[in-house]
Amino acid sequence: MKRVITSLVAILIIAGCTDKVMSNKQTSVHSTKSTELQTLMHKFDNLIYQHYESELDRDHKRIDYTKDMIGIVDELVADSKRLKTLQPKNLTKQQIQGFMVFADILEAKSKELKLMVDNYQTEEIAPVITEINNVCINCHATVR
Amino acid sequence: MFVLTVMQQYDKLVGIFFFMPFALYADANLTTYVQGLEERIEHLEKEKKSKGILNLGSEDTTMFLGGKVTLDTIYLHPANGQNGGSNSNDQFFNANDIPTSREGEESELTLTARNSKFWIKTRTAQVNEKPLMTLLEVDFWGSSGTETNSNSHNIRLRHAYMIYNGWTLGQTNSLFVGSSKPHTLLAPVNDVFMRQPLISYAKEFDKSRLAISFEEPESVIMTQDGVKKAVNDDRFPDVVLKFQHNTARSESSLSLLGRELRIDQENQSSITDTAFGYGYNLTSHIQTYDENGFTFGLVGGKGIGRYMATSFFPSAVINEEGKLEAQFSWGADIAYEHWISNNLHLNMALGQIETDNVLEIDSINKSAWSGHLGLQYNPLKKFLLGAEYVHGSRTLQSDETFTLDRLYVRVSYNF
């Protein structure tokens, strides 16, 4: 519930934002990373259909994919947080604040994933990936 | 407004008078009731500590159950033909299942749920180390029931192993098995498959993994009259070294195998001899764009025998001089996976195997190939609906060729 409210707050803060809020270069990097993340999420989901492997083999791949996802999420977070220091002219304070809220949620989720990877809690990873996906969807729906 | 308030108060007064005796009665029993509750909470706390109804060996162990329920419907042309039997050879697919006679077996239909699986996984937390993990997995490809009444197929052990601190101990897939395989429902004929007891140690690097294993030895030998036999005369474990490397767009592995093949006066024969076998298996999956991608596999060596194509070729033969000689064989595959939408993908694969036969016998296997074309659809999460057409061809030393065509329809749900 808290997460939903936080996401809603973020959406409200940057609602109405239809301008290009990132530079072309940033948008391109962001878009590439988002696609890579989506592909990894999809690969993660489809591991269960690799019937030649054992469940622990699949767990091993889940850990590998999650590590890659953490890397991408961290890059996306760092990229978004850069906006705070750069303070681009085409962004209002509110818009930057909105990004920061989404970035903070992603950062928290990334930390959660790291903990799960360290403890090999492979069964707990999928729900967090869904939450990350929801943050991405909400942010994209609001900004793009 | 005033009247309404009085009426509301009146209601309350009536309620108090009406329920007072019950309230007093309840009050009298309140202490007993609370005591009961406290006892229940204490009992529940104890239950929580013992992890519910499953009393596991360790408080730090968590157990997970999973598996899948599968139904395969297969149309065969031709079939292998086992009257009233299990029809396992009609349900599995490998080069051995391509029949060399099609009399009375032109086209048949078979259904099976034997690909259903069940696994139990445990994880035990360790202080400052990775957890100790175990897996026990079974399917229903044990001894076959008949199709006439109940299809009562027996459970079969697939995996039973533990992983701790880089060590893998127990029965699982051999390290010679590649880390990338075609995503078709059925593996092409060159499939490198081996599940056996082993002891292995793996060292993880950033994007790579290096592992060595000592695995159960078993020599499949062909006698001078062309009969394949699994002889139990081995003295040393098969040794496998495997290197895996992943990048953002690829997953590759290279496995190297070394083994001693041995026969020791098997079946009253006077021959006692050994031969050295070796092999390599290179696999790679390369993403083209998004999740679409190619999978490649190349396997070969002298004496690899049972590690490829379910012992379609022998590891070694007893040659004309009566000596054990490792036989060279190789296999390759190429596959492509294309995602049409987020839950629908197309798979195609081609696989080929061949050997340099030491013996000149017409009826022994020389080569085989298979082509696969299929669609897989996931209407729900963890639910698979797939259809795959398979064409297989098998050539004997005499150059006689036999073919088969099969259509597989699979429905499965992973729980």
pLDDT value of position B7? 45
In a domain, B55, yes or no: no
Beta strand ranges found along B217-327 (DSSP E): 219-222, 228-231, 238-247, 250-264, 272-287, 293-302, 316-318, 324-326
pLDDT in tens, B329-340: 999 999 999 999
Query: Closest chain B residue to A52 measured between Cα atoms?
Result: B181
B163 CB neighbours in chain A (<8 A) are: 56
Tokens of B350: 């081609």
Q: What percent of chain B has pLDDT over 90?
A: 69
Least confident of A21-35, B134-148, B232-246, B247-261: A21-35
In a domain, A72, yes or no: yes
State whether B129 and B16 are in the same domain.
no
pLDDT in tens, A105-122: 999 999 999 999 998 999
Question: What average pLDDT does this structure show over A51-58?
Answer: 90
pLDDT above 70 (res A49): yes
Residue numbers of the domain that contains B41? 1-49
State whether B245 and B360 are in the same domain.
yes
**Number of domains composing chain A:** 1
Stretch 50-69 of chain B: residues touching chain A, C-beta under 8 Å:
64, 66, 68
State whether B210 and B354 are in the same domain.
yes
Give the integer Cα–Cα distance in Å for B171 and B174: 9
State whether B40 and B70 are in the same domain.
no
State whether B34 and B98 are in the same domain.
no
pLDDT above 60 (res B61): yes
State whether B42 and B74 are in the same domain.
no
Residue A21's CB is within 10 A of a number of other CB atoms, namely 20
In a domain, A60, yes or no: yes
In a domain, B16, yes or no: yes
State whether B42 and B67 are in the same domain.
no
State whether B215 and B80 are in the same domain.
yes
Residue numbers of the domain that contains A91? 2-11+21-143
Q: Give the CATH number for residue B283.
A: 2.40.160.10
pLDDT value of position A143? 63
In a domain, B391, yes or no: yes
pLDDT above 80 (res B15): no
Stretch 49-68 of chain A: residues touching chain B, C-beta under 8 Å:
49-57, 59, 64, 68
In a domain, A76, yes or no: yes
DSSP-based three-state secondary structure for A127: helix
In a domain, A55, yes or no: yes
A48 CB neighbours in chain B (<8 A) are: 68, 382, 414
In a domain, B56, yes or no: no
Question: Residue for token digits 């987020």?
Answer: B342
State whether B270 and B354 are in the same domain.
yes
- Give the single-character DSSP code of B235: -
Least confident of B8-22, B65-79, B97-111: B8-22
A123 CB neighbours in chain B (<8 A) are: 64
**Number of domains composing chain B:** 2
pTM of the model: 0.83
B291 → closest Cβ in A39, A48, A119? A39
- Give the single-character DSSP code of A7: H
Sign of CA dihedral B101, B106, B112, B117: positive
Report the complex ipTM: 0.81
Tell me how close the Cα of A119 comes to any Cα of chain B, in angstroms. Answer: 7
In a domain, A111, yes or no: yes
Angle, helices A122-143/A55-86, rounded to nearest 10 degrees: 30
State whether B26 and B77 are in the same domain.
no
pLDDT above 90 (res B258): yes
pLDDT in tens, B153-183: 999 999 999 999 999 999 999 999 999 999 9
Question: What average pLDDT does this structure show over B15-36?
Answer: 59
pLDDT above 80 (res B226): yes
Query: Closest chain B residue to A116 measured between Cα atoms?
Result: B130
Residues whose CB is less than 8 angstroms from the CB of residue B74 and which lie 6 or more positions away in sequence, other chains included: B90, B91, B109, B110, B111, B112, B406, B407, B408, B409
In a domain, B57, yes or no: no
In a domain, A16, yes or no: no
What is the band of A131 on the pLDDT scale with cuts at 50, 70, 90? Answer: very high
